Amino acid sequence: MSTAEQNPRLVWKGATAESTAKAPEIIGRIHFPDRLLGWIIPVSVLLGWELFARLGALPPNWLPAPTVIGKTIYQLAVSGDLLRHARITTARVTVGFLLGASAGTLLGGLTGFLPLSRKLLDPSLQALRSVPSIAWVPLFLLWLGIQETSKVALISVGALFPVYLNLSVAMRHIDHKLLEVGRLYRLNSFQMVRRLILPAVLPEYIVGLRSGLGLAWMFVVAAELLGASSGIGYLMVDGEMTGRASIILASVILFAILGKVTDWGMSAIGRKLLGHRAR
Sorted by where each begins, the domain ranges of the chain are: 66-277
The Cα angle at residue 184 between residues 183 and 188, in degrees rounded to 5: 35
Q: Quick one: pLDDT at residue 214?
A: 94
Fold of 66-277: MetI-like fold (1.10.3720)
Which whole-number Å values give the CA distances from 222 to 114, 163, 227, in the listed order? 35, 20, 10
**Exposure string over 204-234, b if 16+ CB within 10 A, otherwise e:** bbbbbbbbbbbbbbebbbbbbbbebeebbbb
Q: Quick one: pLDDT at residue 104?
A: 95
* Prediction pTM value: 0.81
Percent of the chain with pLDDT over 70: 87
**Contact between 169 and 190 (Cβ < 8 Å):** no
Q: In sequence order, which residues have a C-beta less than 8 Å from that of residue 142 and are 6 or more positions away?
A: none
**Exposure string over 123-156, b if 16+ CB within 10 A, otherwise e:** eebeeeeeeebeebbeebbeeeeeebebbbbbbb
For the cut 80, the answer to whether the pLDDT of residue 20 exceeds it is no
Q: What is the pLDDT of residues 228-262, one digit of tens each?
A: 788 999 999 889 888 899 999 999 999 999 999 99
Q: What is the pLDDT of residues 66-96, one digit of tens each?
A: 999 999 999 999 999 999 999 999 999 999 9
Q: What is the pLDDT of residues 193-215, one digit of tens each?
A: 777 888 888 999 999 999 999 99
